[in-house]
Copies of this chain bind each other. A is one copy, B any other.
Amino acid sequence: MQDFMFCAPTQIFFGKTALDKLAGGVKKYGNRVLMVYGGGSIKRFGLYDKVVKIFQDNDISFMELSGVEPNPKMGLVREGIKLCRDNNLDVVLAVGGGSAIDTAKAVAAGVHYDGDIAELVGQEYFGKILPILTILTMSGSGSEMTTSTVLNNEATGVKAGFHGPDVRPRISYLNPEFTYTAPKRQIAAGVADGMSHVFESYFSNEKGAYLQARFSEAILKTLFQYGETAVKDPENYEARANVMLANTWACNGVVVKGNYVMWATHIMEHPLSAVYPNLTHGEGLACLTPPWMRWTLDEERAYRYVDFGVNVLGIDRNLPDMEIANKAIDITEDYFFNKLGMPRRLRDLGVEESRLPELAQLTMNRLNDKAISIMYKPMHYDDCLEIFKAAF
């Protein structure tokens, strides 16, 4: 096991009564809130009114930053920063999924930062940050408990972010019912995103992080157990609750700390979302993951696919290792496409074949030699292009 520091201080209020604690949570930090959200869905389904009523009943004033889109934009972040500065707001509350939260995080960091928010990209930021609270309506990014934010820079076409201890939300309100009205396609994408967060460190060459591997399997088992039901039966509380919690834990450090690992499929997906800003992150991941798995699989690395196949998917341990491994990858692919109903190929997402070399190059631009050497299987330009082609 590698040495590590773990700290995940976000306070999680989970369940049907979660919002009962909203007013008290806000008031720990102030009473002038910037509420960050996307389009009209939180208004259509009543959540906006609930939050506003809580604010009114508790003398909390608020302003709004709406219009957050998938793969959140720097421009909107700058608007939010200005709103906070001009009105001396003291808390940023995201109501939504990963994009709303990541926008809120960048706004909160930018308020006391002297330069432009784009300068923080790629940095670990220790400056003063407004307290961030979140109400989750779409689960998958894990951003409700992470120290990072990922943004699209419209000017440079790069999707990347920054991180820091106080970028982590102070309080997150997780009521599975708030996800009932999310589009099925987003629920499926969230499941794939959560699985991918786990895969990124589960497929590690650090064999001594046994507990972390078993925790990873616990999350994966939960997502395989409930993902399909969560998509097909939106008001199944048990399914939505388990998926929501699994997605939160997938990304808060528990499975990665103690491993020695460099993410791969997320690094390939970020250029996809940057070049195609309307592409759904989890769908990109679902297309890339099985081809990436097949590319990594060899005799030396089969052990972890055997763990995955046997412990998560219930494949018979007595089969030959490579057979278990291949079966496990096939089941994963089948789960994404046939059970969760996701698009199978990058071409189905509107990706153009002619741009695959550019996507591979954009991926490699984010990886130095050290990062490549840490990967489960070190990936170079030709490998990366091969995986993009297999996923196309």
List A residues at the B interface (Cβ < 8 Å).
Answer: 1-18, 21, 208, 210-211, 214-215, 217-219, 221-222, 225-226, 237-238, 241-242, 245-246, 249, 254, 257-258
Contacts and interface: CB of A to CB of B under 8 A. Distances in A.
B246 A211 contact: yes
A211 B237 CA distance: 14
Contacts of A10: 7
Contact of A215 (B18, B215, B226, B257): B215
Contacts of A5: 11-14, 21
Contacts of A15: 1-4
Contact of A3 (B11, B17, B211, B214): B17
Nearest to A1: B241
B249 A211 contact: yes
A241 B208 contact: yes
Nearest to A9: B9
Given A5-B13, A208-B241, 9 more contacts: A1-B14, A1-B15, A1-B238, A1-B245, A5-B12, A6-B11, A9-B9, A210-B225, A211-B242
Most B C-beta atoms less than 10 A away, residue of A1, A4, A13, A249: A1
B245 A211 contact: yes
Contact of A219 (B211, B242, B257): B211
Contacts of A14: 1, 3-6, 257-258
A56 B3 CA distance: 25
11 contacts: A1-B14, A1-B245, A2-B15, A3-B14, A3-B16, A4-B12, A208-B237, A210-B226, A211-B242, A211-B246, A214-B218
A201 to B, nearest CB: 14
Greatest chain B CB density within 10 A among A4, A17, A208 is at A4
Contacts of A219: 211, 214
A92 to B, nearest CB: 20
Contacts of A258: 14, 245
Contacts of A6: 11-12, 14
A369 to B, nearest CB: 24
Contacts of A225: 210
A18 B3 contact: yes
